[in-house]
Structures are given as structure tokens and as C-alpha cells.
Amino acid sequence: MAKLEQLEKKLLHYTGKAIADFNMIQTGDRVMVCLSAGKDSFTLLHLLHLLRRRSPGKFEVFSYTLDQKQPGWDDAALRAWLEARGYPYEIASKDTYSVVVDKVPEGKTYCSLCSRLRRGTIYGYAAHHGHGKIALGHHRDDLIQSLLMAIMYNGEIRSMPPKLLTDDKRHIVIRPLVYCQEEDIAAYAALQQFPIIPCNLCGSQENLARKRIKRLIAELALENPKIPSNMLHALQSLQPSQLMDKRHWNFKELERQRITEPARENGDESGIAPAAKTSYR
């Protein structure tokens, strides 16, 4: 019990910090949590309800689950868990499973098409029912894995933002768990005995790139435990002058900024210019 309380306190601290740092939730917000019935979304839903009780009347929390008609799906325990706690919810059904299996060639990953179909359904439901914020359960490890995947497989420096305005500008997506570690969430979910429903799509493909990246980061962390937190910090500490993106740093105009006066005018009679200092902006 002490372990559960300790983990809950830690997770609440980092969730509250993320919400405050990125101004995720304001008074009057109707927050729809996408409950996939995995450990991350269960933890997010439960923590947001705990935070809601600490600030009564500030915001609402609603749980939305999409039954994608995967074989073996049984949400009886999920419904019982939600109702026992009085959490408002809806479990909708839409057969995206068959579409994904039919459209994706054998050996290819299902995640991309599956997430697009799921996202469209979620956005449509949120718009129809007036939920201004959509909360997802991505955590610190998801963000740093996405960063490394984007660099290695897409040639881009990007990840999952903590707060996002969708392309159609109709929804704001928030990720309150961005400071939370997956191992803490997993331990918390186990102690809480959340009625988790395994995913039979992405969970069945063992050679996904994300799993390889996850193993790589874990191996590096054995040598230096600070590597995961350093990677998260890197997402908040961009140095455009040290990269190669011409859109974000005006390399063509650097000559105009260069100081060309003789060094002796600065009191140095040797005529040797002082060592250049790296400028971070």
C-alpha cells in the first residue's frame, strides 16, 4: 500500500507539473480521455479524476473507448470498473480491425493505418459532443522513442508535443503524462489492478521499429541512467544555430553579424583576435 501511495504521489506531481507547464487544462474544459484499456490510458484517466477532485468545478473528465472489433475483445470488466468509480464514459463500436487486416500487406506494421482510423473516429465523437480537449496517455518513453525513430527512419527531428492544435483547428490534443516514466506507470497499473485489455494488432508484431528503439534506449540507459531524461530535456532545449535547418537559422546572413574591427581596438595590441565563443539562441 505504501508503494502504491508513493507511486501515485510521484505520478500526480509530474502530471500536474506537465499540465501547468504547458497550460493544458483551463477552467471550464471538457476533457475527453481516450481510454484504450491499456496501462497508460487507465493511469491517465484515474489521475485526471484525482486532480479534478482537488479542484472541483474547474474541469470535467469523460472517458471514451473505441471497440475496434478485435478478436477476443471483452469489455465487461472495463465497464464494471468505470461504473464502480462513477466515471462518465462511452464505449463505442466500429470495425476498423477488419479494415486494417485487409488493407495492410502481410509483414507490414498495422499501427499507422490503425491509428488514422481510430483518430478520425475519436475526433468526430469529440466534435459532436463538445469535448474541447482530447487527452492521450503518451508518456516520457513514448516521446523519446518517437524522437529517435523520426531521426533514424524519417530523417526529421520531431516527436509528440505535449499540446497540439489539430490541422483543422477544431481540437486540442494534450498529453499530461509526458514527464512520467513508463516503468512507474506499469508498476502503478499493476498495483491498481486495472482491467487491461491487450491489443491484438500492434501487440502481435514483435519486430516493430519502436520495439527495437525501445531496446536500444534501455541498453544505453544501463551504461548511463541519465540518457532517457537527457533525451526528454533535448526536446525542450533546441539550439538552431547548432543544426542545419535553413528555415530556423539564417546562415546566409551570418557574415553581416561578424565583428570585423581589429582586435587591438579592444585593448589587445597583439593583433590576434580572441577565441570565438559559441552563441546559443
Residue 147's identity, in one-letter code, is: L
Taking alpha carbons only, the member of 92, 91, 117 closest to residue 102 is 117
Report pLDDT for 120: 81
Query: Any residues with CB less than 8 A from the CB of 36 and at least 6 apart, and which?
Result: 65, 66, 137, 199
DSSP string, 171-197: -EEE-TTTTS-HHHHHHHHHHHT----
What per-residue string of b and e applies to 9-45 under the rule 16 or more CB within 10 Å gives b? eebeebbbebbeeeebbeeebebbbbbbbbbbbbbbb
Taking alpha carbons only, the member of 93, 236, 213 closest to residue 151 is 213
- Whole-angstrom CA distances from 213 to 152, 158, 207 are 10, 15, 11
Cell of 102: 485487409
The C-alpha atoms of residue 135 and residue 44 are separated, in whole angstroms, by 8
CB atoms within 10 A of CB 200: 14
Angle at 135 between CA 177 and CA 31, to 5 degrees: 125
Residue 149's identity, in one-letter code, is: M
Secondary element (H or E) of residue 83: helix 76-85
Query: Any residues with CB less than 8 A from the CB of 147 and at least 6 apart, and which?
Result: 157, 158, 159, 231, 234, 235
Any idea which residue has 497499473 for its cell?
189
| Superfamily covering domain 2-234 | HUPs (3.40.50.620)
Cell of 85: 468509480
The one-digit pLDDT tens for each residue of the chain (281 residues) are 799 999 999 999 999 999 999 999 999 999 999 999 999 999 999 999 999 999 888 999 999 998 877 777 899 999 999 999 999 999 998 877 666 665 666 666 656 666 777 788 899 999 999 999 999 999 999 999 999 999 999 999 999 999 999 988 999 999 999 999 999 999 999 999 999 998 765 544 545 788 899 999 999 999 999 999 999 999 999 999 999 999 999 999 999 988 887 766 555 544 444 444 444 33
Q: So where are the chain's domains? A: 2-234
Angle at 62 between CA 58 and CA 67, to 5 degrees: 165
